[in-house]
């Protein structure tokens, strides 16, 4: 039929691009991860050998892999809740009938989201400069001890988390605002008549009504935060003492600095499996909660 | 709490939050006009004493910023224009045209959405290397010419078009391509603007893939150039702030101009969960 042929013509360009440059490489990555593809194989493909699960096995024995995973999990576990609190808090402020100049505030709060990570990371590196940074100057002038933000292994990741929260909270803020606006006003009206406090209203109306939004936003943010790369690349180069080396940073170095493409593919797959397991568990837990 | 106090509290918090959000950007602008060395002093200066364009001059005359700006514009524009066409056609077909396997193919695409792009990057690099595309504009442009997210967004929007419109045209003997060009495209205009600004911003801000695929300076996009410059010029805060301004300003202006479409797209895209 004519329509069916036209339809295929319509979808073919997109399918070729996605198939050739995304789906095929994903399958190839799985194959690559069971080979010893390295600089020698890059020069001459005949040097390529099948090594079964050896890449995975060796990774699990490398302390650097575990510490990279630990730093990434730290970033996700601390960064995601902080981001969501900032997003929900600002969404509730903007949604309040008492708030003024809403369009202006919404744009201002959202602005960091559209900026380029590298460029704003450069700004933060200067703001958090140990010697000349505005942040330490402010701390010092109110009599607080100054901190070697990006130079101290204990502080580098918290600084990157602060940066990520600042950069990203506006995105989920917009989604939460839509969620808040969908809550019927009568619910709050009824609660007020019953004498419920503002906190009780938040606890028993806002949070339960927002749950579907919350589940979706948490899952998307968790999978986004697992992909930590540009921030440590620009702000700390994975340091100090590798304290901000994330899983993707490890993959990048393993693959494109040392050209161990086989082992780097194994890193990518492990990250994918972890992300999938975590987000699937979150989804399942949220559904169980609904049944109960 | 009295209503007046509540109002003061809420608006005060909003002012504080907005200040935290945009102060770093304003500070960047201010420092970018300072002469070299002024920003490395105590107390840190807030405003330039003698504003100068010297940093911008140095960036464009000595550091090749003009070239990187052109690269970024070229790559982002090419990706936006072509991927818009491909995603529109595919999204419309998945929404409105009957063909065998439609559901199944779309399910596969949706399923692939959970795979992070980085998984594909290593083999993709090898593939492009064998194709001779590494370190060309093509290495960044070609893999971005269609996105699952874009197809999904268009399909969702196009589902709302009444079938009668297309049926009537078919009875009049119009071909599918003419129907698409003259009837469907005008109706898809809002989603076209939304998808275009989304794609352009994502292409402009993209970091990891261009960093891998562009190995020579002559093809660097602004974020890659800025990252590399910032490793060389760790102490030149004023210069780096000017570089950040050049990188951020185009997308910030674009966003401010088309804000409504961007935020609508953000909400539509997030329904996928």
Q: What is the pLDDT of residues A20-38, one digit of tens each?
A: 999 999 999 999 999 999 8
Q: Do B259 and A18 touch (CB under 8 A)?
A: no
B202-230 b/e (C-beta count within 10 Å ≥ 16 → b)? bbbbbbbbbbbbbeeeebbbbbbbbbebb
Which 3 state secondary structure label does DSSP give A35?
strand
Contacts of A108 in chain B (CB under 8 A): 18, 21-22
Q: What is the ipTM of this complex?
A: 0.93
Distance from CA of B14 to the nearest CA of A (A): 7
CA–CA distance, A68 with A244 (Å, rounded to integer):
8
Q: Does A39 touch chain B (CB under 8 A)?
A: no
Q: Which residues of A187-203 are buried (b: 16+ CB within 10 A; e: fewer)?
A: ebeebeeeebeeeebee
Closest residue in A to B248 (Cα) is A115
Who contacts B246 (Cβ-Cβ below 8 Å, separation ≥6)? Answer: B56, B59, B65, B69, B222
Burial of B174 (0-12, 13-18, 19+ CB in 10 A): middle
**Does the pLDDT at position A121 exceed 90?**
yes
Which residues of B, range 32-51, sit inside 8 Å of A by Cβ? 39-44
A55: exposed, middle or buried (C-beta count within 10 Å: 0-12, 13-18, 19+)? buried
Number of residues in chain B: 273
Residues 6+ apart with CB under 8 A from A59: A65, A263, A266, A267, A270
Distance from CA of A162 to the nearest CA of B (A): 12
How high does pLDDT run on average in chain B? 93
Q: Given a cut of 70, is residue A291 above it in pLDDT?
A: no
Compute chain A's Rg from CA coordinates.
24
Q: Residue A255 and residue B46: Cα distance in Å, rounded?
A: 42
Nearest Cα to A12, choosing from B135, B105, B62, B74?
B105
Chain A from 112 to 171: CB within 8 A of any B CB: 112, 114-120, 122-127, 129, 131-134, 137, 141, 166, 170-171
CA atoms of A103 and B103, how far apart (whole Å) = 40
DSSP class of residue A147 equals -
pTM, whole model, 2 decimals?
0.94
User: Is A118 within 8 Å of B6 when comparing Cβ atoms?
Assistant: no
Counting residues of chain B whose pLDDT is more than 90, the rounded percentage is 80
pLDDT on residue A48: 87
pLDDT tens digits, residue range A204-234?
999 999 999 999 999 999 999 999 999 999 9
Res. A288: pLDDT tops 90: no
- What pLDDT, in 10s, does the model give residues A36-63? 998 888 888 888 889 989 999 999 999 9
Taking 90 as the threshold, does the pLDDT of residue B1 lie above it? no
Chain A: residue nearest B258 by CA? A107
Q: How far apart are the first and last CA of chain A?
A: 51
Task: Decide if B27 contacts B39 (C-beta within 8 A).
Answer: no
Nearest by Cα to A113 from B259, B6, B48, B15: B259
In order, the DSSP letters of A187-203 are HHHHHHHTT--HHHHII
With CB atoms and an 8 Å threshold, state whether B24 touches A99. no
Euclidean distance between the first and final Cα of chain B, in Å?
A: 38
Give the number of beta-carbon pairs within 8 Å between A and B.
282
Q: How far is A63 from chain B (nearest CA, A)?
A: 22
Cβ A246 vs Cβ A229: under 8 Å: yes
- Mutating which of B43, B65, B89, B123 best tests the A interface, going by the most A Cβ atoms within 10 A? B123
- Rounded to whole angstroms, the Cα distance separating B143 from B128 reads 9
Residue B25: the pLDDT is: 97
Give the pLDDT of residue B273: 35
């Amino acid at each position: 039929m004519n329509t069916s042929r036209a339809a295929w013509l319509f979808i073919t360009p997109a399918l070729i691009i996605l198939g050739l440059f995304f789906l095929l490489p994903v399958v190839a990555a799985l194959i690559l991860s069971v080979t010893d593809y390295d600089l020698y194989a890059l020069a001459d493909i005949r040097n390529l050998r099948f090594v079964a699960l050896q890449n995975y096995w060796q990774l699990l024995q490398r302390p650097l892999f575990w510490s990279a995973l630990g730093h990434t999990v730290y970033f996700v576990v601390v960064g995601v809740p902080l981001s969501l609190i900032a997003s929900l808090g600002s969404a509730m402020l903007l949604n309040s009938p008492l708030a003024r100049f809403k369009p202006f505030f919404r744009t201002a709060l959202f602005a960091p989201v559209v900026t380029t990570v590298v460029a704003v990371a450069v700004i933060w590196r200067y703001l958090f400069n140990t010697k000349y940074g505005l942040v330490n100057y402010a701390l010092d002038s109110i009599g607080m001890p100054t901190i070697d933000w990006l130079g101290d292994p204990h502080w580098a990741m918290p600084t990157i988390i602060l940066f990520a929260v600042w950069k990203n909270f506006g995105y989920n803020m917009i989604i939460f605002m839509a969620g808040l606006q969908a809550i019927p006003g009568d619910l709050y009206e009824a609660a007020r008549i019953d004498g419920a406090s503002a906190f009780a209203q938040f606890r028993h109306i806002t949070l339960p009504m927002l749950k579907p939004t919350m589940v979706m936003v948490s899952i998307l943010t968790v999978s986004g935060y697992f992909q930590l790369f540009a921030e440590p690349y620009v702000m700390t180069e994975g340091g100090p003492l590798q304290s901000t080396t994330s899983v993707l940073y490890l993959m990048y170095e393993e693959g494109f600095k040392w050209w161990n493409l086989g082992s780097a593919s194994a890193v990518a797959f492990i990250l994918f499996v972890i992300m999938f397991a975590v987000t699937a568990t979150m989804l399942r837990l949220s559904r169980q909660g609904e049944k109960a | 709490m009295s209503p007046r106090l509540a109002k003061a509290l809420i608006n005060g918090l909003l002012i504080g939050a907005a200040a935290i959000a945009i102060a770093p950007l304003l500070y960047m602008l201010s420092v970018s006009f300072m002469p070299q060395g002024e920003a490395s002093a105590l107390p840190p200066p807030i405003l330039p004493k003698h504003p100068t364009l010297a940093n911008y001059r140095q960036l464009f005359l000595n550091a090749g910023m003009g070239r990187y700006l052109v690269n970024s514009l070229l790559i982002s524009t090419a990706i936006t224009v072509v991927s818009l066409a491909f995603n529109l056609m595919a999204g419309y077909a998945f929404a409105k045209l009957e063909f065998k396997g439609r559901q199944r193919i779309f399910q596969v695409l949706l399923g692939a959405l959970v795979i992070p792009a980085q998984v594909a990057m290593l083999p993709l690099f090898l593939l492009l290397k064998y194709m001779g595309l590494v370190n060309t504009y093509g290495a960044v442009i070609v893999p971005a010419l269609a996105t699952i997210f874009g197809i999904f967004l268009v399909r969702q929007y196009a589902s709302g078009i009444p079938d009668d419109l297309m049926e009537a045209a078919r009875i009049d003997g119009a071909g599918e391509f003419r129907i698409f060009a003259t009837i469907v495209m005008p109706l898809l205009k809002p989603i076209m603007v939304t998808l275009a600004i989304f794609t352009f911003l994502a292409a402009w801000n993209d970091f990891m893939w261009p960093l891998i695929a562009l190995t020579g300076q002559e093809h660097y996009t602004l974020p890659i150039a800025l990252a590399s410059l910032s490793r060389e010029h760790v102490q030149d805060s004023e210069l780096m702030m000017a570089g950040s301004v050049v990188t951020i300003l185009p997308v910030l202006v674009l966003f401010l101009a088309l804000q409504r479409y961007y935020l609508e797209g953000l909400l539509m895209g997030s329904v996928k969960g």
